[in-house]
């Protein structure tokens, strides 16, 4: 229990530090990793069900309709045992489609979803228990790299899943160092399945980040509400708006929060008052869209190479096999 409380206060301290720094910089910024408190995670689950948010269905389409192609590209043999490790498994709805085929085809493997949220791990355990009642899984709670490091000593080949275009929330340099770190924790011949949203027309991408029900707006503005809740601040979210944009050429969707008026907001736990000019923005998220060139760029000097690419029917999304 003591450890749990310490962990919470450590996280809160980091949040406080990052908010203080981000809101003191020009332009103001807050990390999208802080979207996912309890309310934010619920909102994100709702986003994934929205008709405009095509990403989830597109990747589901790949796992539902091409599981045998995925397995073939992974070059795994039925006789040898392997570990299927998923980073940030979500509700597991895509992966379960792969697991069903692996079971049906009698492959020998262990499924190890890794997440920092116990709730997410419970959810995936439930999904597997319902759909594959005989399959025992090994959920691991904690930091991706710490757990991958612990798993490195096992003698079995590994397949790491990093789906959902989560890599897209990293700037290219960060995505490159993430893949470098990931690759250092793997051995020669291990594979990665990397889910990426592909570059496409603005008319398709922008509505995914600006849905008609306003759920993405609430998701973005929840960052200010989180600061109110956790750092005793006084943001009136009606005085701020959600500003999404997508640059087709660059292939990056960006979300910002914009102040509607000149205003000063006290953040009591930080002993800080933040001033906003009318129309001043806080950068909150990037969602990078990929093509083969950008994929190659983020794989530079990582020791990884692309051995396959699977796309959904509409070619909106790709799972690269590295
Ligand atoms: C989690 N991540 C891949 C989502 C995305 O599409 O960038 C987060 C998100 N932000 C707004 N809507 C969804």
Query: Length of the chain in residues, anyone?
Result: 322
Ligand 1 near 287 CB (within 6 A) = yes
Ligand 1 near 285 CB (within 6 A) = yes
For 62-101, how does the pLDDT look when each residue is reduced to its tens digit (9 = 90+)? 999 999 999 999 999 888 999 999 999 778 899 999 999 9
Residue 242 · residue 206 · CB < 8 Å: no
Residue ID of nearest Cα to ligand 1 atom 3: 166
Task: Tell me the pLDDT of the chain averaged across its residues.
Answer: 95
The pLDDT-based confidence of 11 (bands split at 50, 70, 90) is: low
Ligand 1 near 43 CB (within 6 A) = no
The pLDDT-based confidence of 4 (bands split at 50, 70, 90) is: very low
Angle subtended at Cα 162 by Cα 61 and Cα 5, rounded to the nearest 5 degrees: 125
Task: Quote the radius of gyration of the chain (alpha carbons, Å).
Answer: 21
For 136-152, how does the pLDDT look when each residue is reduced to its tens digit (9 = 90+)? 999 999 999 999 999 98
Long-range contacts (CB closer than 8 Å, 24 or more residues apart) made by 11-14: 12/230
ipTM of the modeled complex: 0.99
Mutate-to-test residue for ligand 1 from 91, 285, 316, highest number of ligand atoms within 8 A of CB: 285
Residue ID of nearest Cα to ligand 1 atom 12: 209
Among 210, 134, 8, 119, smallest CA distance to 111 is for 134
For 21-55, how does the pLDDT look when each residue is reduced to its tens digit (9 = 90+)? 999 999 999 999 999 999 999 999 999 999 999 99
Distance CA 30, CA 163 (A): 23
- The atom number, within ligand 1, closest to the CA of 220 reads 11
pTM > 0.90: yes or no: yes
Q: How far is CA 136 from CA 120, 128, 133, in A?
A: 17, 8, 8
């Amino acid at each position: 229990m003591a450890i749990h409380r310490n962990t919470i206060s450590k996280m809160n301290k980091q949040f406080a530090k990052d908010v203080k720094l981000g809101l003191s910089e020009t332009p103001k910024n807050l990390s999208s990793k802080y979207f996912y408190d309890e309310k934010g995670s619920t909102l994100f689950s709702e986003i994934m069900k929205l008709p405009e948010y095509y990403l989830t269905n597109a990747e589901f389409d790949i796992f539902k309709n091409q599981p045998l192609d995925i397995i073939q590209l992974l070059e795994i043999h039925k006789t040898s045992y392997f570990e299927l490790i998923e980073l940030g498994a979500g509700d597991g709805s895509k992966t379960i489609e792969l697991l069903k085929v692996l079971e049906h085809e009698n492959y020998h493997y262990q499924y190890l979803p890794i997440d920092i949220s116990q709730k997410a791990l419970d959810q995936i355990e439930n999904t597997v228990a319902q759909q594959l009642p005989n399959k025992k899984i090994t959920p691991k709670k904690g930091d991706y790299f710490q757990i991958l490091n612990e798993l490195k000593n096992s003698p079995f080949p590994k397949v790491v899943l990093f789906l959902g275009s989560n890599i897209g929330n990293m700037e290219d340099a960060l995505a490159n160092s993430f893949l470098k770190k990931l690759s250092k924790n793997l051995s020669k011949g291990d594979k990665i399945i990397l889910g990426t949203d592909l570059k496409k027309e603005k008319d398709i991408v922008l509505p995914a980040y600006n849905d008609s029900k306003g759920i993405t707006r609430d998701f973005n503005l929840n960052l200010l509400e989180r600061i109110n809740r956790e750092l005793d601040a006084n943001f009136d979210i009606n005085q701020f708006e959600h500003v999404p944009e997508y640059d087709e050429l660059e292939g990056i969707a960006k979300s910002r929060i914009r102040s509607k008026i000149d205003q000063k907001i006290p953040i009591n736990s930080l002993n800080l008052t933040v001033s906003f000019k009318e129309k001043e923005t806080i950068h909150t998220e990037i969602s990078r869209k990929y093509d083969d060139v950008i994929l190659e760029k983020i794989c530079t000097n990582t020791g990884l190479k692309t051995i396959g690419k699977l796309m959904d029917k509409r070619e909106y999304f790709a799972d690269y096999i590295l």
